[in-house]
Each structure stands twice: as C-alpha cells, then as structure tokens.
Amino acid sequence: MKGTCDSPGLMPIERAMQLIMDTITPFSEVSNCHIDEALDRVIAQDIISPINVPAYDNSAMDGYALRYADFVTTKTLVQVGKSFAGNNFEGVMGQGQCVRIMTGAQIPDGADTVVMQENTTANENQITFIEASQGDAIRPAGDDIQKGAIVLHVGARISPIDIGLLASLGIANIPVYRRLKVAVFSTGDELLAVGSPPREDRIFDTNRPMLVAMLSRLGAEVMDLGIIVDDKEKIRAAFEYANKHADCVVTSGGVSVGEADYTREILEEYGTIDFWKLAIKPGKPLAFGRLSDSIFFGLPGNPVSSAVTFDQIAAPALRYLAGCNVSTPQFLPAIAVTPFKKRPGRTDYQRANYFVNDQGKIGVATTGSQSSGVLSCFRQSNCYVVLENQRGNVAEGESVQILPFTNLIA
C-alpha cells in the first residue's frame, strides 16, 4: 500500500501528531488490579471515595480539647481523660472539663477547640490555659476527602502517591485498562549486542536498550526481540511475530533509503505507512504505520534522533493508546543567553540547559554539539529549545520556547 511517505515534502510534526491520534483507538478492556500491582497502570473508571478522610473530627496537634465557652468563663479546667489515635476518650466531656489529646486523635464529644500544650500549664489534673482561639487545631471529618468525591479520574496513571491515597481509602482493587504491550527490535548488520567484544567494523546497539528503558517508564510490557540482521525474511518474521503478540511495534533503523533497508518494503506489503519523513530535527526519517493488529513506529537509527522522536511523538501516542490522559506540551518562555544555529524548514529540538535568574526569568543556553550521534549531550541538558519550522538562527537575547525534560529522558 502507498501512503503519505510518497508525497513530496516533509510533514509538519503538528499534522503528524493529529494523524496518529486520529488513527489510534484507545484501549477499552477493563479489569481489576490489586493495589500491590497497580503502580503505573491506567485507571479505567473514576475512583469514588467510599469514606470521609479523616473519618472523624481529629486534632491537628498535641494539646488539650475543651469547650471555648469554658475558656472564656475560666482559664483553669479539670482534665478528665485522654484521647489518643486509635484509643479515643469515651464519654462526653462536661462543663469545666478538658481532655488531653494527641495529634490525629478523635475530638471528644462536647469539645470544639484544641489548645496546644505550649499554651498551657498543668498542676496534676488542673490545666490552666494561657490563650485559645475558638475552633482552633481541629481537622473536621472529610477535610481531606469527602465521601462520594472523585479522587482519581479515568485516564490517570497511578503514581506512588496515588497508591498511598487508595490505601488511605481502603481500596484494594482498582479498575484499570490492560497493560500496553510493545515489541522492540533493532535492524542492521553493523550492530553489536551490548556485552559483545568490540569490533572496529561494528557499533553497539544503543537504541534498543534505551527504548526498552523508556517504554518501561511508560508502564508498558516490553517484548525485546533483539537485533535483526539485514535479511528480508528474518525482518519479515520479526514483524509477523510482533504484530501477533503486541499492540505496537517499535523498530530502530532501517527506514531510510539504503539498499538493505527492508523495513519499508515489508510494511508496504503488510500494512500502511501513514507517513515517512517529518519536518523535524533531529529525526526526519521517522515512519508511522499500521499492521493488521498493531501500530508501528520506525525510529531513526541515530541515537539522539531515536530518543527525541520517541519522547515527542511515539510516547504521547502510546499513552493515548493505553487509555492515559494526554496533555498538550507545556512550553515555557525563555531568553537565549547563547546563540542557537538553525536553518528554516524543520522544527528543531535542540538540547539545552535552562535556569531561573535573580529576576525570576528563565534563561537557556546551548550545551554544544547538536549532532544526532552525540547522545552524551542529554547528560548536560535539562530541556529542549523548540525552534519553529520557519525560524532561522537565534541570537543572544531573543525569546524562545523550551520544554523541560520529563522522566522519560531525565
């Protein structure tokens, strides 16, 4: 089948992202997942709180619970008991009485104020109060979460804090979408698996381990199919297996116009290539297509190009496929404190380092070489400077837009 890759010119990244999102159908299958295995899963239904948190009025500090009206009448009250978290004061506090209370303990019946112990003096059970404010230091029931409130929305990825939140509600089983399955392989006779003895005529397979790690941070179940040599039938077999067992196939290399680049040829036999070659830098030779049972991303062979295109294009698409809420990129305005070289014609994702100056303004500086083969540049960077398609060189002092790295990169 023929696709957009046969059209003249390069596709803008904005159009490519819209095409991808229009092509993908997010997961709809829902199952229950135990909280112990819920980290990084995507919530399939709104989570409703079955209880108030806290469940009862409780003290925000160590001190004494009393009736404010008694404090107004007399500053010395009789301590008649204690209230600890999990061991509450039983009974009703009477007029002229107070109860020793600890942080988190239930407020005794009849009390409406807590006074911190630093504002009291004690003579056995006679407690004198130096100062008090009505209603002070009481956390009402439901102050954090009210019963019936939505605490996590459908499409949210479950974080470690979310695990704690769910545990605080006593929720052990969470409705989630099934886990995303992604098959990954690299192609090329020039590649060596990490751990192999070095060879002058080969390079180590950088992209596949990097992509497996990035996919793991997306919460995907990764099928690592290794390195596939430049053999058409072996590449075909890898695609057939990956298409059968995965939701998405991600390859690295093999989508250019080289004599031994069989990936495009096989894809045109088995599916549709929706686009090939984007108006971005680095990462122009990026392919997106569809097989019978999966989608496909063919990432460039250069490691920086592979990292940038996965981060900016494949990752949002895979989040969407997995049922996760996807937000638009949050660009921040910055001032270039160094020049940035650029030619018009492609959106450029240059690696850079941003900082906040004494006036609260964001400055950004280049971190040097922007070669698509210099992966180490990411280690000196904390953001992309995103330079618009038709923009040329940027002089010191000009305004630019930046995208801070997410945990897929950092």
Which residue is it, tokens 């392989």? 185
8 pLDDT exceeds 50? no
pLDDT band at 2 (very low <50, low <70, confident <90, very high): very low
pLDDT recorded at residue 252: 87
Give 257's pLDDT tier (boundaries 50, 70, 90).
low
Q: At what angle do helices 232-245 and 263-270 cross, to 10 degrees?
A: 50
Extract the tokens encoding 368: 């040097």
- Tell me how far apart the alpha carbons of residues 117 and 119 are, in angstroms, rounded to a whole number: 5
pLDDT digits (tens, 9 = 90+) for 192-240: 888 888 898 888 899 999 999 999 999 999 999 999 988 889 999 999 9
Q: What are phi and psi of 256, to 5 degrees?
A: -95, -155
Q: Binning pLDDT at 50, 70 and 90, where does residue 306 land?
A: very high
83 pLDDT more than 80: yes
DSSP string of 230-279, one letter each residue: S-HHHHHHHHHHHHHH-SEEEEES--SS-TT--HHHHHHHHSEEEEE-BS
Domains of the chain: 4-27+179-321 (3.40.980.10), 31-52+144-177 (3.90.105.10), 58-139 (2.170.190.11), 332-404 (2.40.340.10)
State the pLDDT at residue 374.
87
More confident call, 28 vs 275:
28
pLDDT tens per residue, range 158-196: 999 999 999 999 999 999 999 999 999 998 888 888 888
Confidence of residue 7 (pLDDT cuts 50, 70, 90): very low
pLDDT of 254 reads 65
Alpha helices in 94-150 (DSSP H): none
Q: What's the confidence (pLDDT) of residue 200? A: 85
**What mean pLDDT is predicted for residues 291-299?**
93
C-alpha dist (Å) from residue 205 to 279, 302, 310, 360, 373: 26, 10, 16, 42, 13
pLDDT band at 255 (very low <50, low <70, confident <90, very high): low
pLDDT at 262: 77
Average pLDDT over residues 13-39: 95
The answer to whether residues 9 and 277 touch, using CB atoms and an 8 Å cutoff, is no
Tell whether the model's pLDDT for residue 9 goes beyond 90.
no
Distance of alpha carbon 345 from alpha carbon 35, whole angstroms: 49
Q: Rounded mean pLDDT of 102-110?
A: 96
8-state DSSP, 319: H
Give the mean pLDDT of 257-267. 67
CB atoms near residue 25 (< 10 Å): 8
Mean pLDDT of 371-375: 87
Encoded tokens for 1: 């089948």
Mean pLDDT for all residues in the chain: 92
